[in-house]
């Protein structure tokens, strides 16, 4: 898997959750906090999933 796929999936997830939060009238500062947390988790997952293993 490439890092780009992880990034695209994370962006789609953030967009969907922010839109749902907007429809539920969640304050914007909480939406930003949630988006930053999800972005961080997405980056960590993407790096972990795409990094090359060190040779023995």
* pTM assigned to the model: 0.80
Side-chain half-sphere exposure of 12, counting CA atoms within 13 A: 6
Confidence (pLDDT) at 19: 96
Note down pLDDT in tens along the chain; length 56 residues.
Answer: 688 888 899 999 999 999 999 999 999 999 999 999 999 999 998 888 887 777 77
pLDDT at position 3 is 84
Two tokens, residue 35 = 């988006």
- Which tokens sit at 13? 């997830």
- Residue 54 gets which letter from DSSP? P
The Cα–Cα gap between 25 and 45 comes to 29
CA dist list (Å): 44 to 9, 10, 48: 13, 11, 6
Say how far apart CA 39 and CA 41 lie, in whole Å.
5
């Amino acid at each position: 898997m490439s890092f780009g796929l992880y990034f695209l999936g994370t962006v789609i997830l953030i967009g969907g959750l922010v839109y749902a939060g907007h429809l539920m009238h969640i304050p914007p500062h909480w939406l930003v906090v949630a988006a930053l947390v999800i972005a961080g988790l997405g980056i960590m997952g993407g790096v972990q999933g795409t990094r090359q293993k060190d040779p023995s």
